[in-house]
Amino acid sequence: MIDIDEWTITGAVLKAQGAASNARFKTVMDSLVRHLHDFAREVQLTEEEWSSGIDFLTRVGEITDDKRQEFILLSDVLGLSTLVTAQRNRWPTGCTEATVFGPFFVPNAPKYDNGDDISNGATGEPCFVSGTVQGIGGELIANARMDVWQSDDKGSYDVQRPGLDHAQGRGHLTSQHDGRYHFKSIVAVPYPIPYDGPVGQMLEKLGRHPWRPAHLHFMIQAPGYETLITHVFRSGGTYLDSDAVFGVRSSLIADWKRHEPGTAPDGTRIEVPFYTLEYDFVLCSASKD
């Protein structure tokens, strides 16, 4: 492999990795090389631009830690996360649609019983969330694990608040024997994705805003069913038609109903206005292949 030029380099790289033992890995890497090289030729990428790109990716890695995933954020704002999700989740009509995972999921969230308050001190207007988990055939699903996470009324997740030593607005519970679930939390609000790092700087240069519409995150798992990663969005809110990470689906928009002070769904007396959200999730049966 000598005297390689801008047109022969692609074939040389593909030949060099031809002995890869994993066929799928080779397919992905061969395609990546072809598209990367075609991109560089199409835009006539300069050495200065190449260097800036390397610096950008380096800074994305440097700011990423166990509480902030800048690479997922980059994938989200470029639409790659939504594209991969859409390809992966070609489910039958009637199943709840999946959407992006986002960068703020934390494994091993606290366990709560149905009816508990998962806000755990996070500030915001009270909200009571309930509904069912069922299969595409209408069967009610008991003991489905439901991970839930959300921001507070300032648009911050617990992992974004320095010094906080416990989870807030985050937890998991299981559906009851009749497939129902219910918990207390706070009202979702719009918030900006983290824009103080390289991804935020990129959005600014592109003339794009960093805002997401109000939503709750859910991940629902049950034996015999596909894992559902999704949101429930607040109807009537801002940014539904310009979500910075392209995650909104019409079927995932629901009403947060406002109530005057009085008796809450759990029977307690609340002296401030509160909200209720009812949403039923439909899981897709697991693939047999």
Give domain limits for the chain.
9-45, 74-283
Residue 275, beta-bridge partner list:
127, 258
Instruction: Read off the pLDDT of residues 216-267 as tens digits, 9 standing for 90 and up.
Output: 999 999 999 999 999 999 999 899 999 999 999 999 999 999 999 999 999 9
Predicted confidence (pLDDT) at residue 1 exceeds the cutoff of 80: no
The model's pTM is 0.90
Instruction: Read off the pLDDT of residues 71-120 as tens digits, 9 standing for 90 and up.
Output: 999 999 999 999 999 998 888 899 999 999 988 898 999 999 999 999 99
Instruction: Read off the pLDDT of residues 26-51 as tens digits, 9 standing for 90 and up.
Output: 999 999 999 999 999 999 999 999 99
Amino acid code (one letter) for 169:
G
Backbone angles phi, psi at 232, to 5 degrees: -120, 120
Cβ atoms within 10 Å of 268's Cβ, excluding its own: 11
- Cβ–Cβ < 8 Å for 175, 144: yes
pLDDT of residue 74: 96
Fold of the domain built from segment(s) 74-283: Protocatechuate 3,4-Dioxygenase, subunit A (2.60.130)
Q: How far is CA 283 from the centre of its chain?
A: 17
Q: What's the chain's Rg over C-alpha atoms? A: 22
Instruction: Give the residue among 138, 153, 170 at the shortest CA–CA distance from 234.
Output: 153
Q: Determine whether 202 is exposed, middle or buried from the number of CB atoms within 10 Å of its CB (0-12, 13-18, 19+).
A: middle
- Return the percentage of the chain with pLDDT > 90, whole number: 87
- Cβ–Cβ < 8 Å for 157, 97: no
